[in-house]
Structure 1
Amino acid sequence: MSQIDSLFVTRLYRAPLSEHGKPVDPSELEAACLSIAEDDEAGQEWSDQNDFPGYTSYASLTDLPWRFPIFKTVKKALDKHVKAFAKDLAFDLDGRKLKLEDIWINILPEGGIHTAHIHPHSVISGTTYVAMPEGTSALKLEDPRLPMMMAAPGRLKDAPQELRQFVYAKPVVGDVLLWESWLRHEVPMNMSEEDRISVSFNYAWA
């Protein structure tokens, strides 16, 4: 009897931020992100100089949980989500923990994109979604084996999700998505007239 196994699985974690820790009011978090973006001149300048669409605090504010109580609450919840994902991944952490390394705000306006990339030197990366207006972009995830497929044909449009070369994860406000940091991902063009707002982060092995 023939047998087909699925090998080398790529995991994507998805849950409401509120599933762990103290609930965070999405409208309050959105207001905090917009207020920080308005005041963060260094972040605005970095975004302009690096042709980054909209605004990111990635290169300017590295201590959001220390500066703003709402981000401290977000961090506490994320710690628990990442712990649950690490357990699912069967990581042998040798008695150590995965700790928050970076956390930053992204505000993507109409027409903005985040090109495909990975997060080197981290273990788990992810995003929690603050504002996802109708028509805004899903997260596009790429099969990590794609560069090695050489002469392989493409997949059928109705192929099962686990066999597709690209998967589009459409989050809603309040969702947390987590993936291993080597997984290449991107945000296609925001087709909404309103801003797409998210908070991204990296966890490293302490």
Structure 2
Amino acid sequence: MAQITSLFTTPIYRASLGEHEPAIDTRELDVSCQTIAEDDEAGQVWCDENDFPGYTSYASLTDLPWRFPIFADLVKSLDAHVAAFARDLHFDLGDRELKLEDIWINILPPGGIHTAHIHPHSVISGTTYVALPEGTSSIKFEDPRLAMMMAAPPRTADAPEHLRQFIYPNPKVGEVLLWESWLRHEVPMNMTDEDRVSVSFNYAWG
């Protein structure tokens, strides 16, 4: 009898931040994100000059855990989540650890999008969700083999998730998603009337 084996999986880690201490109050985190966005003139200028929708601290601030204690607590929680994911991935890290490389705020306004991209100099990337208006856009993951499917027919509408070319998890406030940094992803247009707020991060090896 014929057998079909699924090879070369693309794992996505999804969990509540609260699975690892310290506890994070997402309302306090939201207030901190909004306060930083209002005060970060350099970040606002960068967003304007680069036609970036809404606000990101990616190009302006590198010290969020120093500025607000809640970000220091968040990093402690994320460290534990990333370590758990690395074990599930069976990474052989030797005598080096996966360490936080950068962490930044994203405030996506109505009509805003984050176009498809990867994080090429990192090992694990992720996002934790701070404010998600009802009906706002999910994150969109792309099958990494897509560029090589030149002659492949489309999948049926009822194809199982592991065979689809695009996956749209619907995260909840207080959840964290992790993935390997080479995985292409994007955030479709925010079709609501409120801001979508998240905190993203990269972990590097050594």
| TM-score strictly above 0.5 | yes
Structure 2, unpaired ranges of 5+: none
Which residue of the partner structure matches residue 47 of structure 2?
A: 47
Distance in 2 between residues matched to 1:17 and 1:80, nearest whole Å:
10
Moved over 3 A (4+): none
Distance in 1 of aligned mates of 2:135 and 2:112: 13
Give the equivalent residue in structure 1 for 2:96. Answer: 96
> The residue matched to 1:169 in structure 2 has which SS?
coil
Counterpart residue number, 1:128: 128
What amino acid sits opposite 1:134 in the alignment?
E
Match of 1:139 in 2: 139
In 2, the alpha carbon distance for the partners of 1:95 and 1:15 equals 27
Alignment TM-score, normalising by the size of structure 1: 0.99
Cα distance in 2, alignment partners of residues 103 and 157 from structure 1: 37
Tell me how far 1:95 sits from its aligned partner. Answer: 2.0
After superposition, the C-alpha distances for 1:43-70 in whole angstroms (9 at most, x for unaligned) are 0000111110000000001111122100
Counterpart position of 1:190: 190
2:129 & 2:137 partners in 1: Cα distance? 12
Q: Give 2:153's aligned residue.
A: 153
Question: Normalized against structure 2, the TM-score is what?
Answer: 0.99
Residue identity matched to 1:200: S
Q: Within 1, Cα distance between the matches of 2:109 and 2:96?
A: 39
Distance 1:109 1:20 in 2: 30
Gaps of 5+ in 1: none
Aligned residue for 2:168, secondary structure, equals strand
Amino acid of the residue matched to residue 87 of structure 1?
Answer: R
- Alignment partner of 1:115: what SS? strand
Structure 1 residue 158, shift from structure 2 partner: 1.1
Distance 2:2 2:117 in 1: 38
| Cα distance per residue 1:126-150 (max 9 Å; x no partner) | 0000000111110000000000011
Residue equivalent to 1:162: 162
Q: Distance in 2 between matches of 1:200 and 1:153?
A: 34
The answer to whether the aligner puts 1:37 opposite 2:5 as a matched pair is no
State the percentage of identical aligned residues.
74
Asked whether 1:79 is paired with 2:76, we answer no
State the alpha-carbon separation in 1 of the partners of residues 41 and 103 from structure 2. Answer: 18
Q: In structure 1, how many angstroms separate the alpha carbons of the residues matched to 2:22 and 2:79?
A: 12
The CA deviation at 1:7 is 0.2
